[in-house]
Copies of this chain bind each other. A is one copy, B any other.
Amino acid sequence: MDDLNKTPAQLQSIQIVGQILNFWRAQNKSIDALYTKHAEEVYYGEVSQGRNSGTYLLAHLIATNDGLLPLFGLGERLFPELTLLQSEGESIVDFKLELTVLKEKWQRLNEVLEDAFSALTVEEWLEKHNSVSEEDFKLDPTRNRLNVLLNRASHQNYHRGQLIFLDKKAIVA
């Protein structure tokens, strides 16, 4: 069905879902921009004293967003080796997180998510995700893919608020 056969109300929900997708894309682009603005060594530093490093936070964002593939029933994780970093802090990382490798994974993941997300219809966005049961979804139909996307987009912004502190030169005494 192309847009000519749709009612104004259908076009309205398509527009709104499109705006949420653009919101998601904009957060991704802001993270892209953040990880190209400094010299490489800056990202191995902590965002604030005793807090996470820039490389850990990128790995955490990859792990979290990669989880959307199985959660939305769109496939397996691309980078299962990072899964633990979705919920666990930097202290459990017993291997080196290489910035260049992470940036490639981030890029690849965003391409795969973009292809998968842009193919979903409004109805599919409003279907339940895989961590809610059929029973619970009946009680609360807002526990759908779209709701997760909103929160994941904003989750990136939460950590971006921390990542801008990597720029120590911008500190005002």
Q: Chain A interface (Cβ within 8 Å of chain B)?
A: 7, 9-10, 12-13, 15-20, 22-23, 27, 47-51, 89, 91, 122, 126, 141-142, 146-147, 150-151, 153-155, 157-162, 165, 171-173
Interface SS of chain A: helix
Q: Are B19 and A150 in contact (CB under 8 A)?
A: yes
Nearest-CB residue, chain B, relative to A6: B9
Q: How many copies does the complex hold?
A: 2
**Subset of 15 A-B contacts with CB under 8 Å:** A7-B9, A9-B10, A12-B13, A15-B142, A16-B20, A16-B146, A19-B147, A19-B150, A47-B48, A48-B48, A49-B49, A50-B171, A154-B154, A162-B162, A162-B165
The CA of A160 and the CA of B141, in the complex, are separated in Å by: 28
Closest 8 CB pairs of A and B: A50-B171, A161-B161, A9-B9, A158-B161, A48-B48, A154-B154, A9-B10, A13-B13
Q: Are B50 and A173 in contact (CB under 8 A)?
A: yes
Nearest-CB residue, chain B, relative to A22: B142
Q: Are B50 and A48 in contact (CB under 8 A)?
A: no
Point out the residues of chain B lying under 8 angstroms from A50, CB to CB: 171-173
Q: Are A12 and B162 in contact (CB under 8 A)?
A: no
Q: Are A17 and B16 in contact (CB under 8 A)?
A: yes
